[in-house]
């Protein structure tokens, strides 16, 4: 019979014991560069240049979600990806609706309950419609996201173990 292995004692390393990645003067210069208006302008230009690609990816995810609503794991992954970068791509409504769907699916997974296909279908349709909209109507999108969130909250409360 094998002996149980002993785990070595935990060694606490003080924060001051780590080597510095940058000297204090270099860190100050780096911080100054990061705060410079030129750096912000370059970051903004890079973000704007990436927006068409991000929008295309979000549209692709939305199309895939519409084509196969039966694979909840893939739907969750796609919604998670959409919510992650939709706002950066200027698709605020799409991201908010994807966020509601992600939270709904995540909550039900934690509870060990199946998702309601009707709720998923509503979210997928709303995500696809918002992604395809020419301009992102934030006010209308907030209303849609709020209604879907209220529906999700109602359904989740019905699924609470009693």
| Spatial separation of the C-alpha atoms in residues 159 and 162, rounded to whole Å | 8
In the chain, count of helices (H) and strands (E)? Answer: 6, 0
Q: Please name the residue that has the structure tokens 């709303």.
A: 126
What is the 8-class DSSP label of residue 15? G
| Spatial separation of the C-alpha atoms in residues 130 and 123, rounded to whole Å | 10
Confidence (pLDDT) at 95: 93
Confidence (pLDDT) at 5: 72
What is the 8-class DSSP label of residue 16? G
- Helices (H), ranges, the chain: 24-35, 37-67, 72-85, 92-111, 117-132, 138-158
Q: Assess whether pLDDT exceeds 80 at residue 138.
A: no
Q: Assess whether pLDDT exceeds 60 at residue 162.
A: no
| Spatial separation of the C-alpha atoms in residues 40 and 52, rounded to whole Å | 20
Domains of the chain: 40-157 (1.20.120)
pLDDT digits (tens, 9 = 90+) for 15-44: 778 777 888 889 889 889 989 999 999 999
Q: Assess whether pLDDT exceeds 80 at residue 46.
A: yes
Rounded to 5 degrees, φ, ψ at 19 are -70, 145
pLDDT digits (tens, 9 = 90+) for 49-80: 999 999 999 999 999 999 988 888 999 999 99
| Spatial separation of the C-alpha atoms in residues 60 and 81, rounded to whole Å | 11
């Amino acid at each position: 019979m094998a002996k149980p292995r002993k785990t070595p004692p935990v060694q606490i390393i003080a924060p001051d014991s780590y080597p510095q990645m940058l000297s204090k003067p270099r860190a100050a210069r780096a911080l100054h560069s990061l705060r410079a208006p030129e750096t912000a302008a370059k970051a903004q230009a890079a973000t704007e240049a990436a927006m068409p690609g991000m929008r295309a990816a979000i549209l692709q995810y939305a199309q895939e979600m519409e084509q196969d609503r039966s694979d909840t794991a893939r739907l969750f992954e796609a919604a998670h990806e959409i919510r992650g970068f939709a706002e950066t791509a200027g698709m605020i409504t799409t991201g908010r609706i994807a966020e509601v769907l992600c939270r709904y699916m995540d909550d039900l997974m934690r509870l060990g309950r199946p998702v309601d296909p009707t709720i998923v279908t509503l979210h997928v349709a709303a995500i696809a419609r918002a992604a395809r909209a020419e301009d992102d109507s934030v006010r209308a999108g907030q209303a849609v996201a709020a209604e879907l969130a209220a529906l999700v909250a109602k359904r989740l409360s019905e699924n609470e173990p009693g």
